[in-house]
Structures are given as structure tokens and as C-alpha cells.
Amino acid sequence: MFWLTSIVAIVATLLAISRLNATHALLYLIVSFLSVAVLFLQLGAPFVAAIEVIVYAGAIMVLFVFVIMLLNLGPHAVEGERQLLPPHAWIGPGLLAAVLLLELLMPLSNNQFIPTTGTAKHADHSTIPTIPTEAAPQLQERMVVGPKEVGIKLFSTYLLAVELAGFLLLAGLVGAFHIGREEPRTSAKPGAMEVPSQEGPA
Amino acid sequence: MNPIPMEQSLMVAAMLFSLGLIGLLVRRNVIFMLISIEIMLNAAGLAFVVAGSHWQAADGQVMFLFIITMAAAEVAIGLALVLRLQSDLPTLDVDAMDQLKGGDDA
Amino acid sequence: MLNYLALLPTLPLVGFLILTAFGKSLSKRSVVAIGVGSMALAAMLTIGIAIHFLSAPPPGHVFEQHLWTWFQVGDLAPGFSLYLDALSLAMILVITLVGFLIHLYSAEFMRDDDAYARFFAYMNLFVSLMLILVLADNLLLLYLGWEGVGMCSFLLIGFWYKKPENSKAAQKAFIVTRVGDTAMAIGLFLLITQLGTLDIQELGVRASEKWPVGSGMAVAAAALLLGGAVGKSAQLPLQTWLPDAMAGPSPVSALIHAATMVTAGVYLIARTHALFALAPVVLTAVMLIGLLTQLTAGISAVHQRDIKRILAYSTISQLGYMFFALGVSSNGAAINHLMTHACFKATWFLAAGAVIIAVNHEHDIFKMGGLGKKLPVLFWTMFFAGCGPFFSKDGILAEVWFSDTGGPFLWLLGLFGVFVTSIYLFRLLFTVFLGPLKNDVHWKPGLAITIPLVILATGSVVGAIVEYPRLLGYHPYATGTEAAHASPYLHAAIGKIAVGVALAGIYVAYRLFVRHKHYEAGEVVVPHITLRMRRLFAAGWYFDRAYHAAFVVPFQATSRFLRSELIDRGYDAVVALVQTGHRQIRRSQTGRLRWYAAGIAVGAVFCLGAVLL
Amino acid sequence: MNTTDLIALSPLLIVGLSAVAILLLISLRRNHRAVATLALGGLALAMASIPQAAAVAPHHIAPLMMADGYALFYSALLLAASFVVGLLSFDYLEQRGEQREEYYVLLLLATLGGLVLVGANHFVSLFLGLEILSVAIYVMVAYARSSPLAAETGIKYLILAGTSSAFMVFGMALVYAQTGTLEFGPMAAQLMQMEDFGLALPGMAMMLVGVGFKLAVVPFHMWTPEVYQGAPVPVTAFVATVSKGAMFALLLRFFAAFEADEAQPIMNILGLLAIASMLAGNLLALLEDNVKRLLAYSSIAHLGYVLVAFLAESSFGDEAVTFYLVAYFISTLAAFGVISVLSDGKSEADRMEDFRGLYWRRPMLATLMTAALLSLAGIPLTTGFVAKFAVVAAGVKAALWVPVFALALGSAIGLYYYLRLVVVMLSPVNPTDDSNSEATATDDAMSTRAPNPAILRPKKVPIGPAFALSILAIFLLGLGVLPTPLMDFIKSSVSELR
């Protein structure tokens, strides 16, 4: 089940980054996000699974779709996109990413993790998870960390962080408003900002 | 529910991350680059949830929420900039955006 | 009076600040009043301090003035503290007195220059920093002055930036001396880590406690300091910047590139002699560097045509003599030569500057001639000033003979240098001033030019008779020479041989360049030496052949070697290397976003790879 | 949240509230002057609240933030830098017909992000602080909407910063997977107990990507010249100082907790990055003709210098880092301040040519610029010298010979291009007859265009920047001559770190 979901996520992502049509890519990306949401469920995190679907696959992707519609990137853009993407363009980045992946997989495959004990769940945030003296049973039933626990944590320990996240969104909001604001070009006041023309390449 | 070993889930996250990186490096269209960054951030979020699930703590999920917050803010600004670029330049090809570079490089 | 010591660097600094802030709005008269006036005050103050110091010596013949602690890093707390002893007294006398005279001269010399205020601002700043350099009681403050004077030198060489080659010269001077400065900075850090202090006196004490003579650390420290000194004083192999530095105005050459800044290296070695004494290898290196520089630069000087380049090579050569003396631990002789040379070379540079103006900016000495009748003051001041340093050089040579590390062979080589010196100096003098008149002279030096020349020439002549450092109570002479002083006749006789050789050189120059003026402009000078040598050694062919083989051929080879400026190429190569590096690495700034993203990815791969390995 | 928490967080709260207050004010009435006053007042008030916060320090606002002397010192530094940037921005924006008011919201938010970052004691606060800072800067660099370069600059910065953030977050996840805690202190304690760092090591390596990007060290540096050049000058000053300073403060705090040799691979990487940055930054700047780009390249080298002191891993090194950052802040702000004042409504004074003969037209500004450049070059009597001295001393003490050697080499190269600009400022101003005789004429295709006459025309420096620049000038030289008080203060502030 886990592997099935993972493979779906990976294949969908691969398709998403390789599609020439932006809308198709977005659809694949949504598939990928949905399968990640399923992974979240399997990992015992139903709350973020829902958030993943609603916010990522929902809201953020809709934003992309809007912009693509605004830009009018229809089928005619596919041909242009094809020209921007010759097959050999994949080689370098592919190799680079492959090396990176290898470097990530290597420590992952031969790493000894601290096995968790059931008590860690109830541990206070500030206490150090204790290393059990004898190897605890690896295959114990995984507990679901549900919305309630997340919520409690969010609004007690991380209250300050939530406020800060508010500021983060505020910055995004103000910024998007300022940059995206439609302004009639003609109304630019005389002496409006104009960075000196750059020296062209010699 | 059968526990999923952390190593394997992290490997999936690493693969998604690498795919995002490939997308970022290969695509020349700004929108695809933004999408690729979303993939990478999502992979990082997945890794956090995996780790949180391993430690049976809500911290991983909390972190995921903040990551999604940041992704939203970033996408909003990024797309606004894309709109601006589209009206300035006829193309979204990032390689065409090289007004800013050294004056005399070879 | 001694308590006003801190005022000494302050006066020119104030001049600099006023000239910088209000320079544009001041009339030329006020600029002179401030620029020269501040120097006059400093010079008077110095005289006052000197009189006080000599008449009522402070305890231990050392006066220290602690102003404030600069900063404290760890247990290191360098201060703004001034240290006055006989050595620094000698230096401040040179700097302020010679400096004042050169300022006075500049008041007339630079009158027609638009950037009058800027010139005096730089000059005042230079003097201030130079005073800080010699009065510093710790190496860090000294380094401040060291870097500062280097910067002023850079600005003043490039003063007439309208000609691109002047700017190139300024850059070259800057880059080449940077090599030495970097070595010196590393040396300072070595001293900090090893000895935990930069106080010069304390360094000497701790070094001799901690390091045995000849220990690796002592050698390293001394060698690194020597690197700085070699760069600053234009010694082999970092000498190539000085001839090009003549692009600056003549007073600049006189003040910075003859009298003061270039002697900072000599001062540094004399000041930190305690360290060098622990590293005999380095002292030998100092001696050899001095000897080689002195010979090669002297030979080069004979082959120059540009009046200022002759003087530049001459300066390098004379500085070589000072290093020579330092190398045999004869600091007294070195400082004595430093002081007379300062008077002598300042005179010559100033007079040369006047000559250049008088002959309408001609630099080639073979396009001048017979100026002695038109400009007698210049001729006679140069003539007398030129005699002075031979006597101080005698002192050095005698010390070399008697010192433990020197000996008759080195003495002989030094003696040959004296011969060369007198040839190139009097070649210049005779060619320019004697013979038939070749130039129209529409210009006569005024009082502001003549007075400094006369005073400086007098200083040089007096230096021939009096040993200035001894007068000031500075007489560390080479070991072994004290014994020699027991037999003063021998000492004097050795010295007089040098004078004799010098006179012989003058005679040769006279024969070559006055009596037999066959050469025409543009012809290489060397063959004529052989020609004249043939007449000189009237006995005929054997000598001449031998001479030609042993002497002229190496001469020509050396001069060809030096003229092709092989060492120069080396530095050009360094510059080219850096610039190529710049261009190559700059290609990475393509302006392409994906390329930059790839940079980040490569960095990530690198970071991950590094922790996995 | 109790009262003590609030007092300890007061600088943060005041900055945040000011941002909200500005938004309210904008919704009522758009008035540039009022908004700017409010923003500057907020920053000043935040600064004024630091002594109060210091009274309760060290205070741990569990679990996210730490309000100790170290955090408060850096908070004061960031607030002061933002204040200067604000002063510069007002006149800069005043000359340009843009919607100017939102800028101050972003400025305050970015500062807030920086404040969070310097106090961060936890991955969550680290992440949020970093992102608030980044997101605000994305917009600030692209703020000049009518500039043709703005959008390009913005998108470049956004994509690269986003990428580096992704790396950083992934790294954090790995560290968390290994240690099970997000808080620095327990994390370090946890790792110390283990035989090796396991996944935490690759995790930290990936976090370095994010850190390195913000600090702009090689090879994460390539955005710097572009963003410096394309962004409005005050924003460039902000990116060069606040963003980098905050990140460095965080780096120092994070690694101060680790003492064991297990973190050595990370230190080795940082050492290599430092060396590469010192050499590449200086080489890149060597013949650059755009002053903003030149300062960008030089900043790459400067962060390399700071890293040398950081690598010393001693409290002496921490002091050197802090003092160097202060000196770097002062010098950089002064340099950009001069550029900002010289820029007029139409163009930015960022070409070498614009500085030709500045000394003879606007001596005060040119002198300040010279002092700033000399300080960056580390010439004695400027604060930059003392700072560089402290850094080298720290490096030498820790026997970091290779980095120290690279530092010396880099400084030697660096002096050249700083003095090159100084010489240009001293050159005469008639470009017609000496276009080829520029004091440091390079064989590169130098622009021979005349400087913008408006830049050279003496005009009165507005009161805001004049105030800012005079303060900077006083510190620039004052700390060069008498740095001891600040050094003592830094010593007492950073002592709690290790």
C-alpha cells in the first residue's frame, strides 16, 4: 500500500515536471499531492493529509491555474515550450539530481535511527527524547497523531509561531498586492522610477 | 495500521525532492520553476511529517503547516511577478532574462 | 618640550584636514600658508624636541608618550603610544626638516598646477603618517603608518593621472609593495601568536628570552619583516616599482621616493634589530640583498637616459648600501647614510625637477647640455650635495671590512659600487650642465626653490664631515668595529680608499662625458665606455680585452637583462594572472537563473558529499 | 505567555505592531511622510525597548525564542540598520512616483523576520523568521514597479531563495528525524550523546545551503550581484546588512551549541566555503565597473572573512564575528547611503563613471564614501581595520592557517578595487579630454560616458540621510580609533553563547 502510493506520487511528479502543457502538468501535480496526502494518512497524520488536499492541491494549485488562464497559455504555448526543452537539456540536471539523491539515499539506507518508545508521544516538547537502554520493539503499533493533538500543540507551544506565520502571510499579501496591482501604464508620473539602462554586453 | 519504516518514507521524500530539483534545473518557463519549488517544498514537508510520525509527536505536522504557509506566500508573490514579467517580456523563458549581468563578460 | 611630541604628527594632519575640507575655496596663498606652514611648525617643533632631547636627555635616552589604548583583542592591547629615542629622533629630523624644505620648494614648483590644494593635502597627510610610522612604539601603529604612506605614495605617483602611464605606474607601485606588505602582515601575526605582544621593545626582550639564536621562529619572523622592508625600500626582487614611480611630481620623488618613505624599510630593520640579531641567516640575506641591489641598480643607472630614472636607480642602489650596512649589523652607518642620502637625493631630485621645467619638460639627459651657465645654482648645489654621501658610504665600507660577517671581499664589491655610483652621478651632472648649451632656458628658479636646495646641499656636505647619528647619540656599530676603532688610522685609511675610488670614478666620468663628447643622442652608451676605457688604460690592449670580457660583457648582459625587465614581467604576470582569474570567474555570472540554481544544486551536492566522505 | 515573555519580546512586538499600524494608517489615508514617521518611530521605540528586555535577559520564551544578551545585541544592530535604511528610503522613494507606503510595511516585516532569526532557538522560529525576512525581501527588491529590472530581479531572487529554503527545510527534516526535537539546545545535547550524528550530518549540510544562500557565500553567491544591482539602493543596503547579519547571528547560535568533533565535517565545509568566497569574491570585484555589483562581490568576500572568525569556535571568535559584522554593517550602510543620496529621481548612481570627480563636487559625500571603502578594505584607523584584525587574530589563535592565508590574499586583492574607486572619485570631472586617462583605466571596455550631471551637481543632502550618514561617519572612524568600549560591550553580550 505504501509502495503503491509512493510510486504513484513519484510517477505523477515525474510527469508533472516533464509535461509541456502547463495545465496538464498541474493536473499531474495535483495527483502527486493527493498521493502524498494518502501517504500522510498512512503515516498517521490525518490532519495534514486534509490540509494537503485543501491547501496544496486545492488553493495553491488553483492559484496556478488562474495565472495560467490569465497568461493564456493554451495549446499554442506547448510548441514554444517544446523548443525550450530539448531532450539533451535533461542530462546535466538529471545527473546532478541523481548524485544528490544518491547522497541522500546513502545515509538513509545505512542509518541507525533511534527507535521510538511509546512514551515519546507524551513527552514534553522540551524534554530530550530518551534513548532507551535496550532496543525497543521496532514494530509496535504506530499511533495516529490526530488533529486534536496538532491543534493543542499549535495553540499552546507554538502560539507565537502562529502569530509569526500570520506576519508571513501578511508580507505575502502586501507583496502580492503591490506587485500584482494593475496600474495603467500611462499614469506613471513624470520622473517615475527608471533605473539607468544597463550597459549591454560588449 | 502497519507502521512504515522511516527510512523508506524518507527515501520517497528524497526522490520527490530530487525530481523537483530536476524540474527546476531543466525547465526554462518560470511557472514550471515555481511548480518545481512547490514539489521540493512538499517533499520537505513530507519528510517532516514522516519524522514527526516516527517520533509520535505533533511537531512534524506543525512544521508542515508552516511550510505550507510559506509556500502559499511565496507562490502568491511569485505568480504576481510572473504576471508582471509577462507584460514586460513576451516570454516566460528565464534564459531570456539576462538584463542583469556583468557588463563585459565573454 | 618633549611633551609636545604628540603634536608632531598632529600638525600636518590638521593641515591635511583643513586642506581637504576647504581646499577648493582657499586661495593659493592660503594653501601655501597652511600646507607649508604646518610643516614649518613641525620642523621647528622637531628642532626644539631635538635640542631638549640632547641637552637634557630623558632617563635612558628614551622618551615615551602613551596617548591612549587603541583597542584590546585578547591579551593584546596596542596603544597610540609614541617612542622617541636617538633613532626615531634622527628619522623625525629628516622627515620634518627635509619635508619642510621640499614643501617650500613645492610652493613654487607646483604653482601652476590646478590641484594645488590636493597636492599639499596629500603631502601633509604623508608626512603625518610617516611621523606616526617612525614614532610608533608598537608594530601595529607602525603598520598603520606603513600602509598609510603606501597609500599616499599611490595617490601621489598617480597625481598627474591624465597620462594613463602614470596611473599604471601608481598601480604597479601599489601592487608590488603589497607583496611585501602582505609578508609583513603575516609576520606581525606570527609575532602576536608567538610572543603575544607587538610592543617593539617588549618584542626584543621576549624574543631573546624565548627564541635561541637562529631558531626557526626567529628566522621566519625576521624574514617576513624583511619582506615588508624589501618591498617598501625597493630592494631586490621587489625593486621594480621605484623607477616607474618617477611618474609623480619631482617633490614627491624627492620626499617619498628618496628621502623618507623608501627608507622605512631601513628604519624597520634598524628598529627591530633585536629580532634580526636572533636570525643571523636573515641578516646575511639582508647584506646580500643590499649588495646585489646596490650593484645591479648602479649598473642600470649608468644606462639610463631619463634624468629621473637615473636618480631612481641611484636611490635603489643607495638603499642597497643601507641594507648592506644593516646586514653587517652596522646600523649607525646605515642611518648615517640614510640621513646624508636624504639630503643629497632630495637636492638632486629637486634640482632635477627644476632642470626639467627649465628645459621644457625634457627628461633625456642627452638632449640637455651646458646648463651650468644658465642655472649655476642648480649645478653647484647638485655638485656639492653629490659629494656628501661618498663619505657616509666610506663609513659603511669600513664597517663592512671590519665586521664579523663582512670582510675584504665584500668590501671590494662595495667599493666597485662606489665606483659605479660616481660614474652615473657625474655622468648625469656633466652631461646636463657642462659642454655646449643645447637648450633654451626661459625659466629661473625663484627663492623658494633655491633656498631649500642650498640648505639641503649644505646638509649633505656637513654630513660628509659629521656623523649625524653619532651626534644624536645613536651609535650602534658593527661588532668587531670597536676593535678597529682602536686603530683609527687603519679605519680611516680603509675609508679613504673609497673616497679615492670615488674620485677616480668622477675622473672617468669627466673623461667620458666632458672631454670626449662623441656620442649622439639615441646611441647606446655602453660601447663608449669601452672606447673610453681604452684610453683610460692607455697601456693598451690586454687590459681592455680583459676588461671587456670581465666587465663590459657582464655589464651589457646585466643591463640587457635589466632592460628587458625580466623581473618586471614576473609582476606583470601576477597582475595578468589575477585579471585572468577575474575574467574566468566572471563568466560564471551569466545572468541566467537556471545556471545560478545549478550553482546552488552543485553546492548542495558538494556539502552533502563532504559530510559523507 | 506571561508578562516577562512579553517584555523580553517587546522589540519584536513593537515592530510587528507598527507594521499593522501602518496598514491601518494606509487604509485611512495615504501619506508617505506620516507612514515613514510611524515606521521610523516604531523602529526607534523597539530599540528603546531593548534595555527593558535586557533587564529580564536571559529569558527563554519556551520553546521558540531566546532573549539573551546576544539576541538583544543583534536585535539592536538590526534595528539600527533598518532605521538607517528607513531614513535613506524616505528620500529615495520621495523622488519617485510610486505607491510608497507599503514599502514600510515590508521593511518592518523584514526587520521582524530578522529579529525572530537572531532570537531563534528552535527550527520553527528559525524557519518562520527566515521566511518572513525572505518573503518581504522578494517584494522589496521588486518594489520599483516601473523599473524594467524590478520583476526580473524579484523573480530571480524568489526562485533561488525558494530553492535554498527547500534545501534548508529538507535538511531540518533530516535533523529532526534523527534527533526528535526541534529545539537547538536539546538537539545538541541529544547529538552529543550519540556516537555519530547519523542523518543529522547530511541534514545540517543541506541546511548550509539555505544559510549559505542568505549569506551569499560561494557557490551560493551568484544571485548577489544581480539582486544588488537590480534592487533599489536602500533595499540593496538592507539585503546586504540585515538579511546577512541576522542569518549569521543564527548560524553562530546554532553551532555554538555543538562542541564535539562530530560537527567537524560541517566546519570543514564552512572553511572551504569561506576560502572560496574570499578568493572568488575579491576576484569578481576586481574590474567591476558597476559600484553596486562591486559592493556585492566584495560582500561575498566579507562574509568569507567573518566565517574565518566563526570557524575559530571560541568566544574570542564570537566576539570577532560580532565586531566584524558591526563594522561591516556600518561601512556597507555608509557606502550604500552615499549611493542612495547621489541617486536622483531618474537614475541610480551606480556606475563607476558617476563617481568620477565626486571629491571635487561633493567633498563630504566623497570623503564618507572613501572612509567606508577604506574601512571595507581594512585600512587602519577605520573600524574595518580593527574588525579585520580581530578576525585574523581569532583565526590565528585557532591555528586556521589556510583560511587566514586566504584572508590575507583576498584583502590584498581587495584593496586594489576599493582604491580604484577612491581614485576615480579623486579624478577630474571633464571627461572629454581625459576619457582614456582614468586613473585606473583598465583594458576592459570602460564606459566613457560622462557622469550624470545631476549626480555631480552639488545639492543639499536631505536631513534624514544627512543625519544617518553623519552617525555612520562618526562610528566609522570613532570605532576605528577607540573600539574598546564596543568590544567590551560585545564581550559581555556574547559571553552567554558558549
**One-letter-per-residue 3-state SS of D227-272:** HHHHCCHHHHHHHHHHHHHHHHHHHHHHHHCCCCHHHHHHHHHHHH
Give pLDDT tens digits for C399-441: 777 777 777 788 888 888 888 888 888 888 888 887 777 777 7
Which segment of C313-327, C475-489, D13-27, D343-357 scores lowest on mean pLDDT?
C475-489
Residue B98 sits at the chain C interface (C-beta within 8 Å): yes
> What pLDDT does C154 receive?
81
Q: Can you tell me the distance from the alpha carbon of C449 to that of C32, in angstroms, rounded to the nearest whole number? A: 14
Which residue among B37, B62, B66 places its CB closest to the CB of D162? B37
Nearest residue to C78 (alpha-carbon basis) of D482, D328, D383: D482
At D116, the pLDDT band (50, 70, 90 cuts) reads very high
Give pLDDT tens digits for C251-286: 888 888 888 888 899 999 988 888 888 888 888 888
**C612 and A96: CB-CB below 8 Å?**
no
Is residue C234 included in any domain, yes or no?
no
> What pLDDT does C566 receive?
53
At D250, the pLDDT band (50, 70, 90 cuts) reads very high
Q: Can you tell me the distance from the alpha carbon of D16 to that of D105, in angstroms, rounded to the nearest whole number? A: 9
Q: Can you tell me the distance from the alpha carbon of C352 to that of C345, in angstroms, rounded to the nearest whole number? A: 10
Give pLDDT tens digits for C51-98: 888 888 888 778 888 877 777 766 677 778 888 888 888 888 889 998
Q: Give contacts of A116 with chain B, Cβ < 8 Å.
A: 54-56
Residue linked to cell 495535483: A30
**A113 and D198: CB-CB below 8 Å?**
yes
Nearest residue to D94 (alpha-carbon basis) of D466, D358, D464: D464
Q: Which of the residue ranges B98-102, C301-305, C438-442, D303-307 has the most confident prediction, judged by mean pLDDT?
A: D303-307
Which residue among A18, A125, A180 places its CB closest to the CB of B80? A180
> What pLDDT does C61 receive?
78
At C460, the pLDDT band (50, 70, 90 cuts) reads confident
Whether residue D194 is predicted with pLDDT greater than 80 in this model: the reply is: no
Nearest residue to D67 (alpha-carbon basis) of D131, D157, D2: D2
The percentage of residues in chain D with a pLDDT greater than 90, rounded to a whole number, is: 41
Domain count, chain C: 2
> What pLDDT does C161 receive?
66
- D residues 34-63 lying closer than 8 A (beta carbon) to B: none
This model of the complex carries an ipTM of 0.85
The reply to whether C559 and C574 lie within a common domain is no
Give pLDDT tens digits for D135-164: 999 999 988 877 778 888 888 899 999 999
The amino acid at residue C162 is K
Give pLDDT tens digits for C189-234: 888 878 878 888 888 888 888 888 888 888 888 899 998 888 888 8
Domain span at residue C554? 524-563
Beta bridge partners of C69: C79
**C594 and B102: CB-CB below 8 Å?**
no
Q: Give contacts of D163 with chain B, Cβ < 8 Å.
A: 21, 24, 37, 40
Per-position DSSP letters for C458-477, written without gaps between them: HHHHHHHHS-HHHHTT----
Q: Which three cell numbers stand for residue A160?
A: 507565537
**D209 and C600: CB-CB below 8 Å?**
yes
Give the number of beta-carbon pairs within 8 Å between A and C. Answer: 21
**D155 and B74: CB-CB below 8 Å?**
no
Neighbours of chain B (3+ CB pairs under 8 A): A, C, D
Residue linked to cell 524579484: D154
The reply to whether C541 and C556 lie within a common domain is yes
**D183 and A126: CB-CB below 8 Å?**
yes
**A101 and B14: CB-CB below 8 Å?**
yes
At C312, the pLDDT band (50, 70, 90 cuts) reads confident
Is residue C36 included in any domain, yes or no?
no
Which residue among B47, B48, B100 places its CB closest to the CB of D149? B100
CA-based nearest distance B38→chain A, Å? 9
> What pLDDT does B101 receive?
56
If phi over 0 gives left and psi between -120 and 50 gives alpha, with beta otherwise, what is residue D67? beta
CA-based nearest distance C606→chain A, Å? 9
> What pLDDT does D20 receive?
93
> What pLDDT does A122 receive?
40
Mean pLDDT of chain C: 78
**D169 and B45: CB-CB below 8 Å?**
yes
Neighbours of chain D (3+ CB pairs under 8 A): A, B, C
Q: Which three cell numbers stand for residue C529?
A: 665606455
Q: Which of C22, C69, C71, C190 to mutate to test the interface with D (most CBs of D within 10 A)?
A: C71
At B9, the pLDDT band (50, 70, 90 cuts) reads confident
CA-based nearest distance C600→chain D, Å? 5
Is this model's pTM higher than 0.90 or not?
A: no
Q: Which three cell numbers stand for residue C573?
A: 604576470
**D408 and C185: CB-CB below 8 Å?**
yes
Averaged pLDDT, B15-32: 89
At C557, the pLDDT band (50, 70, 90 cuts) reads low
Residue D34 sits at the chain C interface (C-beta within 8 Å): no
Q: Can you tell me the distance from the alpha carbon of C600 to that of D78, in angstroms, rounded to the nearest whole number? A: 27
* C260 DSSP 8-state letter: S
**B16 and A84: CB-CB below 8 Å?**
no
Give pLDDT tens digits for D433-492: 443 433 343 333 334 445 555 555 556 778 888 899 999 999 998 888 888 888 888 888
Per-position DSSP letters for C239-250, written without gaps between them: TTHHHHGGGS-H
Neighbours of chain A (3+ CB pairs under 8 A): B, C, D
> What pLDDT does D45 receive?
94
Q: Which of D131, D206, D227 to mutate to test the interface with A (most CBs of A within 10 A)?
A: D131
**Residue of chain C nearest D213, judged by CA positions:** C600
Residue linked to cell 693598451: C540
Averaged pLDDT, D359-364: 77
CA-based nearest distance A11→chain B, Å? 10
Q: Give contacts of A175 with chain B, Cβ < 8 Å.
A: 73, 76-77, 80
- D residues 85-144 lying closer than 8 A (beta carbon) to C: none
CA-based nearest distance C555→chain D, Å? 36
Give the number of beta-carbon pairs within 8 Å between A and D. Answer: 158
Q: Can you tell me the distance from the alpha carbon of D101 to that of A181, in angstroms, rounded to the nearest whole number? A: 14
Whether residue C550 is predicted with pLDDT greater than 80 in this model: the reply is: no
Q: Helix crossing, D244-256 with D69-94: angle to 10°?
A: 170
Give pLDDT tens digits for A14-30: 998 888 888 888 999 99
> What pLDDT does A77 receive?
72
Whether residue A195 is predicted with pLDDT greater than 70 in this model: the reply is: no
Q: Which of A168, A173, A199 to mutate to test the interface with D (most CBs of D within 10 A)?
A: A168
> What pLDDT does C334 receive?
85
Is residue C536 included in any domain, yes or no?
yes
Q: Give contacts of A121 with chain B, Cβ < 8 Å.
A: 55-57
Give pLDDT tens digits for A36-69: 999 999 888 899 999 999 988 888 888 888 888 8
Q: Give contacts of A101 with chain C, Cβ < 8 Å.
A: none
CA-based nearest distance D420→chain B, Å? 17
Nearest residue to C341 (alpha-carbon basis) of C257, C410, C447: C257
**D426 and C148: CB-CB below 8 Å?**
no
CA-based nearest distance C25→chain D, Å? 11
Residues 6+ away with beta carbon under 8 Å from C466:
none
> What pLDDT does A125 receive?
43
Residue C25 sits at the chain D interface (C-beta within 8 Å): no
Residue B71 sits at the chain A interface (C-beta within 8 Å): yes
At C388, the pLDDT band (50, 70, 90 cuts) reads confident
Which segment of C547-561, D86-100, D121-135 scores lowest on mean pLDDT?
C547-561
Residues 6+ away with beta carbon under 8 Å from B40:
B16, B17, B20, B21, B24, D163, D166, D167, D170
Which residue among A92, A100, A107 places its CB closest to the CB of C605? A100
Q: Can you tell me the distance from the alpha carbon of C330 to that of C480, in angstroms, rounded to the nearest whole number? A: 10
Averaged pLDDT, D224-252: 92
Q: Specify the higher pLDDT residue, D248 or A74.
A: D248
Cα separations (Å) of C319 from A52, C69, C296, C312, C334? 79, 34, 12, 11, 9
Residue C196 sits at the chain D interface (C-beta within 8 Å): no
Whether residue A82 is predicted with pLDDT greater than 60 in this model: the reply is: yes
Cα separations (Å) of D26 from C506, C529, D38, D102? 89, 89, 11, 8
Residue A6 sits at the chain B interface (C-beta within 8 Å): yes
Mean pLDDT of chain B: 83
Q: Specify the higher pLDDT residue, D414 or C545.
A: D414
CA-based nearest distance A63→chain B, Å? 8
Q: Give contacts of A150 with chain B, Cβ < 8 Å.
A: 58, 61-62, 65
> What pLDDT does D131 receive?
94
Whether residue D171 is predicted with pLDDT greater than 90 in this model: the reply is: yes
Whether residue C179 is predicted with pLDDT greater than 90 in this model: the reply is: no
- C residues 259-298 lying closer than 8 A (beta carbon) to D: none
**D190 and A129: CB-CB below 8 Å?**
yes
Averaged pLDDT, A165-182: 89
Q: Which three cell numbers stand for residue C249?
A: 611630481
| C377 phi/psi in degrees, rounded to 5 | -60, -45
Q: Which of D178, D283, D290 to mutate to test the interface with C (most CBs of C within 10 A)?
A: D283
Which segment of C129-138, C287-296, C429-438 scores lowest on mean pLDDT?
C429-438
Q: Can you tell me the distance from the alpha carbon of C86 to that of C63, in angstroms, rounded to the nearest whole number? A: 10
Return the SS3 of C478.
coil
Q: Can you tell me the distance from the alpha carbon of C400 to that of C407, in angstroms, rounded to the nearest whole number? A: 6
At A127, the pLDDT band (50, 70, 90 cuts) reads very low
Q: Give contacts of B100 with chain C, Cβ < 8 Å.
A: 591
Q: Give contacts of C167 with chain D, Cβ < 8 Å.
A: 423, 437-441
Cis bond leading into D63, ω under 30°? Answer: yes
Q: Give contacts of C587 with chain D, Cβ < 8 Å.
A: none
User: Please, what sign has the CA dihedral across residues C98, C100, C101, C102?
Assistant: positive
Averaged pLDDT, D77-104: 88
Nearest residue to A139 (alpha-carbon basis) of B51, B4, B52: B4
At C570, the pLDDT band (50, 70, 90 cuts) reads low
> What pLDDT does A128 receive?
45
CA-based nearest distance D187→chain C, Å? 19
Write down all domains in chain B, each with its CATH number in brackets.
7-91 (1.10.287.3510)
Dihedral (Cα; C497, C502, C506, C511), 10-degree rounding: 50
